């Protein structure tokens, strides 16, 4: 499920569309003291008021926001489990019996809460529905030809914390007096989901029940217990972790010093690999690719040395990095150069214009510019380097 698939689904999470229809809503209130259901209820989604439907839609939009491998993770189900989560979710997806589906969602809730503790009461929300996608090239258009449609049944789960109600001072127009108001009902925070998932993943309108899309509460902070024990997915690495592996491997092979122009060339090769891949593919880089990039850019290294570096850093010789995780955002100032004096941001392709130079025993960052730089409206006075 690539970012276009996710964006297409998010666009239909609204009340005024016929391309997505949510039929069932099941909510469970969990007390923090017991980590057990305090109350659970099923509702037909269409019976909710439109404003209430919109609140849930916005919550699920928020759940499916963020970058892949940072906040959203496509997980492949493991096969070595005794009571497979995959089987439970698949059965519930196919169930047309409301009572049976509710029982299955309670079973899923039990899996979610097993060995988990929250510092506030939480609400777990499940919805089930149907997503339609046209097979024409203009799939993103609401006006696309809908003669040929792909239908996918899906489920969404969102975990949200509750907050205590606010204490307020209100003015009563009738009695002409100020009143102190205290509500006792907790408020469900639908704007910041703690986590959740989409089952199955939907690629180009077709569901894949062998995979699930996990959503973390914050970027680069996935809940490994939820991914591996609750959803029973294979271990996943964040983009941040993949980038750290890449950096450690390169440092182990060529040292921790590299010219900006060389690094720019390596990034250019990785970007070329990404651009040459199919839209629905996420190209991987192994030790052979890293060795090729380094050798091509002035660092002749043995393949075996890079292989050993991979094993040292990851404990796996066959470990593969996602190219999209390694490469900084190529067309934006995504590379940060931090010093005590100033922080500089440059794009990967502009790295050759940045150098560190030594002069009179001091180090300087030198940036090649095409025009005079300005400070507070004044052009900088140029100085010649001796």
| pLDDT tens-digit readout, 7-28 | 999 999 999 888 999 999 999 9
pTM score, whole prediction: 0.84
CB of 143 closer than 8 Å to CB of 134? no
**Per-residue pLDDT for 147 more than 70?**
no
Q: Which long-range contacts (CB under 8 A, 24 or more apart) does 315-322 make?
A: 317/287, 318/286, 319/245, 319/286, 319/287, 320/284, 320/285, 320/286, 321/242, 321/245, 321/246, 321/284, 321/285, 321/286, 321/290, 322/69, 322/237, 322/239, 322/242, 322/282, 322/283, 322/284, 322/285
In this structure, of 10-24, 125-139, 202-216, the range with the lowest mean pLDDT score is 125-139
DSSP code per residue over 262-278: HHHHHHHHHHHHHHTS-
pLDDT, residue 140, reads 53
Mean pLDDT of the chain: 89
pLDDT band at 279 (very low <50, low <70, confident <90, very high): low
pLDDT, residue 126, reads 98
pLDDT band at 38 (very low <50, low <70, confident <90, very high): very high
pLDDT, residue 105, reads 96
- Residue scoring higher pLDDT (160 or 83): 160
In this structure, of 172-186, 222-236, 370-384, the range with the lowest mean pLDDT score is 172-186
CB of 368 closer than 8 Å to CB of 353? yes
Of the candidates 293, 232, 242, 241, the one whose C-alpha atom is nearest the C-alpha of residue 265 is 293
pLDDT band at 34 (very low <50, low <70, confident <90, very high): confident
pLDDT, residue 316, reads 82
In this structure, of 37-41, 96-100, 374-378, 380-384, the range with the lowest mean pLDDT score is 380-384
**Per-residue pLDDT for 76 more than 90?**
yes
pLDDT, residue 69, reads 92
**Per-residue pLDDT for 135 more than 90?**
no
Of the candidates 352, 349, 348, 342, the one whose C-alpha atom is nearest the C-alpha of residue 373 is 342
CA angle 209, 213, 214 (to 5 degrees): 135
Q: What are 148-178's pLDDT values in tens digits?
A: 788 999 999 999 999 887 778 888 888 888 8
Q: Which residue has the tokens 């890079």?
A: 306
Share of the chain above pLDDT 90, in %: 54
Gap between the Cα atoms of 133 and 146, Å rounded:
8
**Per-residue pLDDT for 280 more than 80?**
no
pLDDT, residue 141, reads 53
- Residue scoring higher pLDDT (142 or 95): 95
Across 288-317, average pLDDT: 88
CB of 122 closer than 8 Å to CB of 194? yes
Q: What are 39-67's pLDDT values in tens digits?
A: 999 999 999 999 999 999 999 999 999 99
Q: What are 184-201's pLDDT values in tens digits?
A: 678 889 999 999 999 999
């Amino acid at each position: 499920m690539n970012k276009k698939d996710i964006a297409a689904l998010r666009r239909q999470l609204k009340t005024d569309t016929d391309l997505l229809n949510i039929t069932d809503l099941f909510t469970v209130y969990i007390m923090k003291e017991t980590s057990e259901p305090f109350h659970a209820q099923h509702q037909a989604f269409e019976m909710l008021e439109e404003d209430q439907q919109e609140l849930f839609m916005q919550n699920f939009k928020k759940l499916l926001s963020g970058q892949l491998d940072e906040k959203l993770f496509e997980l492949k189900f493991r096969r070595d489990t005794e009571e497979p989560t995959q089987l439970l979710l698949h059965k519930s997806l196919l169930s047309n019996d409301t009572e049976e589906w509710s029982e299955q969602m309670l079973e899923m809730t039990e899996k979610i809460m097993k060995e988990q503790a929250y510092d506030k009461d939480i609400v777990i929300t499940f919805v089930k529905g149907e997503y339609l996608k046209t097979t024409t090239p203009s799939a993103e258009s609401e006006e696309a030809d809908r003669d040929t449609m792909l239908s996918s049944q899906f489920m969404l789960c969102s975990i949200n914390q509750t907050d205590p109600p606010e204490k307020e001072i209100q003015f009563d127009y009738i009695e002409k007096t100020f009143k102190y108001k205290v509500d006792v009902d907790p408020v469900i925070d639908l704007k910041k989901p703690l986590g959740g998932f989409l089952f199955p993943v939907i690629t180009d309108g077709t569901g894949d029940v062998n995979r699930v899309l996990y959503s973390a509460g914050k970027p680069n902070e996935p809940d490994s217990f939820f991914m591996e024990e609750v959803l029973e997915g294979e271990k996943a690495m964040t983009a941040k972790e993949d980038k750290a592996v890449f950096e450690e491997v390169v440092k182990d092979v060529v040292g921790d010093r590299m010219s900006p122009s060389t690094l720019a060339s390596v990034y250019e090769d990785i970007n070329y690999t990404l651009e040459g891949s199919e839209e629905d593919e996420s190209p991987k880089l192994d030790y052979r690719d890293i060795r090729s990039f380094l050798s091509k850019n002035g660092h002749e290294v043995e393949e075996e040395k890079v292989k050993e570096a991979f094993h040292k850093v990851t404990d796996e010789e066959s470990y593969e990095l996602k190219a999209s995780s390694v490469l900084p955002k190529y067309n934006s100032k995504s590379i940060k150069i931090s010093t005590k004096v100033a922080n500089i941001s440059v794009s990967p392709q502009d790295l050759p214009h940045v150098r560190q130079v030594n002069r009179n025993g001091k180090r300087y960052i030198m940036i090649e510019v095409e025009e005079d730089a300005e400070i507070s409206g004044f052009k900088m006075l140029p100085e010649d380097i001796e």
